[in-house]
A and B are shown apart, each in its own frame.
Chain A
């Protein structure tokens, strides 16, 4: 595709429910990143994939958060037992490889936990 695609664009859920957020990176990009942007803040790093493996998941806030990238392309961020504090915009980015390459961002998924 032309850019990083994230679905859904908006997700409303109830406290305690499970959600999945999808990211489709730019074709050929081996590196994929997830960030979380709370209202009025800059994005904060969650997890980084190089290929299929999570090279760094140090930004995941707790074990309710998990992400996969089984075929080295599409990634899914999974949140269990959602809490109101999880409400934020979840951003995905991809880049051509590891190192300090420019990261291209998707439009994000706005998650609202009621």
Chain B
């Protein structure tokens, strides 16, 4: 079945450092790919998405590119802030008969120090 694997955390960075959180997926066809963020005490929020190969999703300085050849959707940000501290989830919605349920990775916790 479809699955998502993302790098284990926690990731600890200093403010203004470069962030990469790796995400790879297994799915048939052409899934839609997402990054969600969960701030402390809050619900899941969609951060960005990409629906086809080579699409780049971007929001709030975060970017991720849909790489079909490597089945990856790595999240990047050039300069993190303390307010980016949160748990980040990579996710997909498949293109097959189960193409409605969101399949999530286990999440990566990010700590940003001032």
Contact = CB atoms under 8 A, between A and B. Distances in A.
B100 A106 contact: no
Contact of A42 (B43, B89, B95): B89
User: DSSP majority for the B interface?
Assistant: strand
A56 interface: yes
B27 to A, nearest CB: 12
Interface string B44-79: 111001010000000000000000000000000000
Interface size class of B (residues with CB under 8 A): 20 to 34
Given A48-B101, A56-B98, A59-B101, A100 B93 contact: yes
A103 B102 contact: yes
Nearest to B93: A100
Interface of B: 4, 32, 34, 36, 42-46, 49, 51, 89, 91, 93, 95, 98-107
Given A42-B104, A42-B107, A100-B51, 18 more contacts: A33-B100, A40-B106, A42-B4, A42-B105, A43-B102, A43-B104, A45-B103, A56-B100, A98-B100, A99-B100, A100-B95, A100-B100, A102-B34, A102-B49, A104-B46, A105-B45, A107-B43, A108-B43
Interface of A: 4, 31, 33, 35, 40-45, 48, 55-56, 59, 91, 93, 98-100, 102-108
